[in-house]
Chain A
Amino acid sequence: MEKDQFIIAKKKYNSRLIVGTGKYKSMSECAKAIKLSGADIVTVAVRRVNITNKNKPLLMDYIDPKKITYLPNTAGCFTSQEALRTLRLAREIGGWKLVKLEVLGDKKNLFPDMIETLKSTEVLAKEGFKVMVYCNDDPLMAKRLENSGADAIMPLAAPIGSGLGIQNKINIQIIRKQTKLPLIIDAGLGQASDATIAMELGCDGVLVNTAIAKAKKPFEMALAFKNAVIAGRQSYRSGRIDKTFMGNPSSPIKGII
C-alpha cells in the first residue's frame, strides 16, 4: 500500500483529526484534551484583548504555536468584509497564512453564506493566504471554491455544534469523487463513530470541537475521536466488501458432517 500522507497546502501533518479550542471549562482542560486527541492543527478565534483584566490566561501560554499549528478562524463573521479583516489581523499576529474561512449566513442554524464565502476565498487566495473553507455540502459550490483557489474544502456534516452527524453522505461522496483537494468534514459531529463514517466516505480529515469539549468526559472523547479517525481511514483504505442482500456463510460448506 502506498504511503498515506495528509497534506494541506504542501505541508504534511501527522493527524487527520483537527480540533477546536473553544467551549472548554478551562485552558488546561483544553490543552490536555488536545494532547490526547493527537491533533497537530487546532482552530483558534481572533478576539479583542481584555485590556482591563490582564490576569486572564492566554491561549498561547497553554498551547505552543511552535508545536501545534494554529488555524485562525473567522467564526462569528457574517460578511466577507468582517472575515477578511479578521484574517488579515490573524496573519499579523505571527505570520499565519493557513486560515479557516467561515462566513455565516444565519444566526439560528449557523449555515454558511456561500456567496460571501466564495467572494472571500477569491480575495484571500490572491493575497497569498492558504484557505481552508467551511462550506455547505453542495458539490457545485465546492467546485467553485476549488476554482477560486481554496486549499481545502470543509463541508459541514450538520449545523455547527448540533451533534447530528453526517446528514448527506451522498453529497460528501460526490464531492470526494470530484476533488483532489483535502476534504475535511467540519462541524456537526456528535460522537466518535461519526468521524469514522466521515473517514470511510473518503474524507481526508475531520474537524471537531463541541463533541469533545462538551462531552461528559472530554479527555476520553478526545481519545475516542483520535482512534475513530485512524480506524475510519484504515477501513477506507482497506477496500470494503460488496454489500449483498443474501447470506454468505463464513465457514466452508464442504465437509459438513
Chain B
Amino acid sequence: MKKTNKIKIKINGKIKLLINDYKLSDLLKNIKIPIKKVAIELNEEIIDKKKINKIKLKNNDKIEIVHFIGGG
C-alpha cells in the first residue's frame, strides 16, 4: 500500500489534514485569512507575518489565528 503523504495539524482547535510540504502561507491563503487583521501563533510562538511563506508545516503543528472582536 502506498504510504499516505499527509500531515495532521490543529488550527484554532480544529484538526485539519494537509498534504505534506504545505507552507503556512498556503494554508492561510487557502482558508482566506485577512493576514493584515490577524496575529498568528505556531506552537505557542508568535510568527512574524513577513516570514509565513518560509515556514513549512509539520505533523502535529498547532496554529492559533486571532483577531479583534467586540469586548469591554
Contact = CB atoms under 8 A, between A and B. Distances in A.
A21 B39 contact: no
Interface residues of B, number: 26
Contacts of B32: 54
Chain A contact-residue range equals 35 or more
Contact of A60 (B13, B39, B66, B68): B68
A251 to B, nearest CB: 49
Contacts of B41: 89
Interface secondary structure of A, over-half rule: mixed
B13 A45 contact: no
Interface in A5-51: 20-24, 27, 30, 43-49, 51
A194 B13 CA distance: 41
B68 A44 contact: yes
A2 interface: no
Contacts of A187: 72
Contacts of B44: 85
Given A47-B66, A49-B33, A51-B11, A20 B38 contact: no
Interface string B22-38: 00000000011110111
Contacts of B68: 44-46, 59-60, 70, 72, 90, 93
Contacts of B31: 51, 54
Nearest to A210: B72
A60 B37 contact: yes
Contacts of A60: 37, 67-68
Contact of A48 (B34, B37, B65): B65
Contacts of B67: 46-47, 49, 58-60, 93
Contacts of A70: 68
B12 interface: yes
A73 interface: yes
A52 B14 contact: yes
Given A48-B12, A75-B71, 18 more contacts: A21-B69, A23-B70, A27-B70, A44-B69, A45-B69, A45-B70, A46-B68, A47-B69, A47-B71, A49-B12, A49-B65, A51-B12, A54-B32, A58-B37, A60-B37, A72-B68, A90-B39, A92-B40
18 contacts: A46-B39, A46-B67, A47-B66, A47-B67, A48-B64, A49-B12, A51-B11, A51-B12, A52-B14, A54-B32, A89-B41, A92-B40, A93-B37, A93-B39, A94-B37, A207-B72, A209-B72, A210-B72
